[in-house]
Amino acid sequence: MSKIFFLNPFGTDAISGGVKVTYQHAEMLAKNGYDVAVYQPAGKPSWIDISERLTICDSFKARAGDVLVFPEILVDPLLDIARAPFPGKKVMFCQNPFYLYSYNHSGAALTEMGFEHFIVPGHETARSLSAVLQVPNIHVIPNSVDTGLFYPRSKRLCIATNPRKWPGGGGNSPLAFLIMSMLHLKYPDTAQVPWIMLEKMSQREVAEAMGSAAIFLALSRQEALPLTPLEAMASRCALVGFHGTGGKDYASHRNGHWFSPEQCEEIVDCLAGLIFDISQHAPHVDRMLDEAQKTASAYSVEATFQAVMQVYGKICAGFEPHA
């Protein structure tokens, strides 16, 4: 019986949507009878709940007919494994095409390494991979929002954001703190509105914070399909910020206030306006929140499950899952 190995050689405290979604796909396959293992020598992640049905290994020996699922981060030791001949199938789960492009591997080079299939989380990323690398067999498995975890709680007037999405560098300040400072300088009355920095938190702690926050500042940057803004939508937060390229799949003027990264002052004006409108219970805010929840609901766990089964059914054609 063939086996699917997800290669995830990162630290246990490496917090990312990519790690979370990798484990989600692996668990869905394992639950439905596929023989699955996650290669993570450091051990299972400490910040998400991992099912006992999943095997996490510190070494692996793949055989003919097995499937190796690589992340797009092709650096050693992953690059050495990718370049090694393998009689089974090599699949790339590309959760950030901008990482992949930065390694300067052409589509021809990836094909030469043996990659036969490419899985991406959104249609914008599928389009980009096809245009930039001209690789074949691109499959979309959409990200999903766990609405059993991300849902609105009792709201308070505060702003939640993920500051690590846009850190400081090259003399520039971290964007979350820059926008917060500009907001307080231009609109001093907003200084009383608390900010929640979503960092060094477990997934459950993030869900609690989002559920209670009235506003979410999205700092998505060069992502395939930003998941955090969708989770904020499901949590009924008013969205302000960036779609991060891959968010083109779902961002609209009806479900949030979307800007370019150069529009910091416009974002500040929008945040100040939202703070006032929310405190006045303005009806147009509720309409936007309704549309945001509707958007998030389209990214259901069931939709992801159906796509996982369909895509891996094609990839693994030739062997059947365990009974």
Domains of the chain: 4-144+301-315 (3.40.50.2000), 156-297 (3.40.50.2000)
Q: Which parts of the chain are beta strand (E)?
A: 4-7, 36-39, 55-57, 67-71, 89-93, 115-120, 138-140, 156-161, 195-197, 213-223, 238-245, 257-258
Per-residue pLDDT for 138 more than 80?
yes
Phi and psi dihedrals of 273, rounded to 5?
Answer: -65, -40
Taken in order 288, 146, 70, 199, is the CA torsion positive or negative? positive
Strands 156-161 vs 213-223: parallel, antiparallel or unpaired: parallel
Put the strands of the sheet holding 257-258 in their side by side order: 195-197, 156-161, 213-223, 238-245, 257-258
Secondary structure letter of residue 317 according to DSSP:
T
For residue range 295-314, list pLDDT tens digits in order: 999 999 999 999 999 999 99
A 10 A CB-CB count for 251 gives 22
Residues belonging to the chain: 323
For residue range 3-17, list pLDDT tens digits in order: 999 998 888 787 777
Q: For residue 7, what are its two tokens?
A: 């290669």
> How much of the chain, in percent, has pLDDT values that exceed 70?
98
When pLDDT is cut at 50, 70 and 90, the band that residue 2 belongs to is: confident
Nearest partner of 183 among 194, 167, 172, 169, judged by Cα = 194
Per-residue pLDDT for 323 more than 90?
no
For residue range 192-206, list pLDDT tens digits in order: 999 999 998 888 999
Please give the Cα distance from 6 to 88 (Å, whole number): 14
Give the model's pLDDT for residue 322: 44
Mean local confidence (pLDDT), 135-151: 95
Unique residue bearing structure tokens 């206030």:
257
Quote the pTM value. Answer: 0.88
Please give the Cα distance from 92 to 112 (Å, whole number): 13
